[in-house]
Amino acid sequence: MTNSLYLNIAGSYRSLVLPLLLALTVSAAPAFSASPAFDCSKAEGEVELLICSDDDLALLDIRLAKTYSQTMENIPEAERSNFRALQRGWIKGRNDCWKAEDVHACVEFSYKSKTVELQIAGGLIEAPRYRSLRCGEGTEAVPFTVSIYRNADPVSAVLTRGNDQVIAVAPVSGPAEHYVAPNVSLTITDGQAAVEWFGEALQCTVQ
């Protein structure tokens, strides 16, 4: 009788514990693993292998691929060949991030800025009014403007100075109205703009 009771209790215990252990094992496993839009079995080089092993970068690759497709649908047929060539050039530039001091940050910015560029080129977001930057005596000879794309993903600023144009991206965290790109930053406060432009520090008024 005692043995029978023990077996019944032990069997009930196992029936409760085993499903619980299984549930804990499943919950301990990663909830999500992203794969980029390209085939990781053919990945080559440090950057492509990094993207295939990093969920955040893989998701950025998926979003870029979707944005690229939408842009290609929106532009005239005659311009698509040029856009394909530009995209191949961008991929080469992205892969050159292996040379950067912070490879992950370089790849992340490359994806974010290219996505915004495609959103603008494809008319996927509304173009805002540009604002002029007045940065002191002697600088007016070279026009300097900024357009804030608040409806872009990520929110970005397009700075144009003469023939040079840079897309600066709002960081995930940081002060409001702050945008960064390699060798460029823009911070706007109460109509004043602090600009770092390829080693040149400028204090400007937003007009």
Q: Which residues pair with 13 in a beta bridge?
A: none
pLDDT exceeds cutoff 50 at 14: no
Residue with tokens 């520090």: 201
Nearest alpha-carbon partner for 43 in 29, 57, 22: 57
SS3 track for 77-116: HHHHHHHHHHHHHHHHHHHHHHHCCCHHHHHHHHHHHHHH
pLDDT of residue 18: 40
Task: Average the pLDDT over 144-153 and give the result.
Answer: 95
Residue at token pair 């040149």? 200
User: Is 22's pLDDT higher than 80?
Assistant: no
Q: Which of 137, 130, 141, 138 is nearest to 207 (CA)?
A: 130
Q: Percent of the chain having pLDDT more than 70?
A: 84
Whether residues 112 and 135 fall in one domain: no
pLDDT at residue 30 greater than cutoff 70: no
The last residue of one of the domains, among 96, 121, 146, is 121
Residue span of the structural domain in which 201 resides: 131-206
Question: Looking at 121, 152, 168, which one is the last position of a domain?
Answer: 121
Task: Examine the domain organization and report whether 137 and 111 are in the same domain.
Answer: no
The kind and range of the H/E element at 3 are helix 2-28
Check: CB of residue 189 under 8 Å from CB of residue 129. no
